[in-house]
């Protein structure tokens, strides 16, 4: 009797698990479709003529993809290729320098035991709570005083000090970097920078990849600070150009070209994500929660 009850209970549990899985997969599939709808609309409208887009959405792609692309590229006021290069240059160096020096700072806080260790860590976290808009006016005045207006230096160098990136790196080290490895490297005669570059950086690769994506995307989408510093047409970044396009007279809109410009601005971010996406789940899982 007991055996029969156990069998029935096991079958019931298995059925409930199957039902829960079906519900979960159905809901996730629905959310995935909803998330992809805006991208589908964008891709379709990139191929359509402006007057067709204004009549309403149609799921059938048009034949104006190449024409819209050439309109965007050849528009002398937008300077799309130049702004694309500017955004790519700024975002790439920002991601590279920010992740490296944030990892280096986290390594110092994690490995070295000094009196101001906890106050320094707390101070960095306090800086993370200050929004960029609070210090924007003073920052712009400082840039103008240093004659760095219309240069990329104010957009790259200050981004090295990234408290949120540092915090993620520190949490990742707490969970994935035992101090015994560092001590063993020191015993073998390895210098501190050699230890960090040759030993710690490979261990930190998932966290670095995750933060490189986040930093790249954040810099790529940054509109506020570049709009205050860059006013020369040849120095504009893509968000500034997109803002100029959106602020134009609606009657003069070439909607197909606008959708094409937005699609071009999204493409590099998607490529970076696809290249580094395999590290995201592993990096977040190890770095978000201290093991």
pLDDT in tens, 216-228: 888 998 888 888 8
* Predicted TM-score of the model (pTM): 0.80
Q: Which of 242, 238, 244, 263 is nearest to 88 (CA)?
A: 238
Is 259:68 a contact under the CB 8 Å cutoff?
Answer: yes
Q: Which residues contact 82 (CB under 8 A, 6 or more apart)?
A: 234, 236
52 exposure class (CB count in 10 Å sphere: 0-12, 13-18, 19+)? middle
pLDDT classification of 5: cutoffs 50, 70, 90: low
Please give the residue that has the higher pLDDT: either 13 or 207.
Answer: 207
C-alpha 111/C-alpha 34 separation (Å) is 45
260 exposure class (CB count in 10 Å sphere: 0-12, 13-18, 19+)? buried
Q: Write down the residue that tokens 């993809």 correspond to.
A: 65
Mind listing the pLDDT tens digit for each residue in 40-94? 888 888 888 888 887 888 888 888 888 888 888 887 777 888 888 999 999 999 9
pLDDT of 291 reads: 43
Residues in the chain: 291
pLDDT of 250 reads: 61
pLDDT classification of 6: cutoffs 50, 70, 90: low
């Amino acid at each position: 009797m007991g055996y029969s009850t156990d069998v029935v209970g096991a079958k019931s549990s298995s059925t409930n698990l199957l039902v829960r899985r079906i519900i979960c997969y159905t809901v996730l599939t629905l959310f995935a479709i909803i998330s992809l709808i805006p991208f589908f609309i964008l891709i379709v409208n990139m191929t359509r003529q402006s007057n067709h887009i204004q009549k309403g959405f149609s799921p059938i792609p048009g034949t104006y993809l190449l024409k819209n692309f050439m309109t965007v590229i050849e528009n002398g006021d937008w300077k799309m290729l130049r702004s694309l290069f500017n955004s790519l240059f700024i975002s790439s160096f920002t991601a590279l320098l920010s992740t490296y020096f944030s990892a280096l700072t986290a390594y110092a806080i994690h490995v070295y035991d000094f009196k101001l260790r906890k106050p320094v860590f707390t101070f960095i976290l306090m800086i993370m709570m200050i929004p960029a808009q609070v210090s924007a006016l003073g920052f712009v005045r400082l840039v103008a005083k240093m004659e760095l207006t219309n240069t990329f230096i104010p957009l790259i160098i200050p981004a090295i000090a990234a408290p949120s990136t540092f915090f993620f790196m520190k949490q990742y080290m707490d969970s994935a970097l035992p101090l015994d490895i560092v001590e063993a490297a020191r015993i073998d005669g390895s210098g501190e920078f050699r230890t960090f570059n040759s030993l710690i950086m490979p261990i930190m690769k998932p966290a670095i990849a995750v933060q490189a994506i986040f930093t790249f995307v954040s810099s790529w989408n940054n509109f506020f600070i570049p709009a205050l510093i860059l006013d020369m047409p040849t120095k504009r970044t893509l968000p500034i150009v997109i803002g100029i396009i959106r602020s134009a007279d609606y009657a003069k809109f070439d909607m197909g070209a606008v959708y094409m410009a937005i699609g071009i601005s999204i493409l590099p971010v998607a490529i970076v994500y696809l290249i580094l996406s395999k590290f995201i789940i592993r990096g977040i899982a190890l770095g978000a929660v201290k093991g």
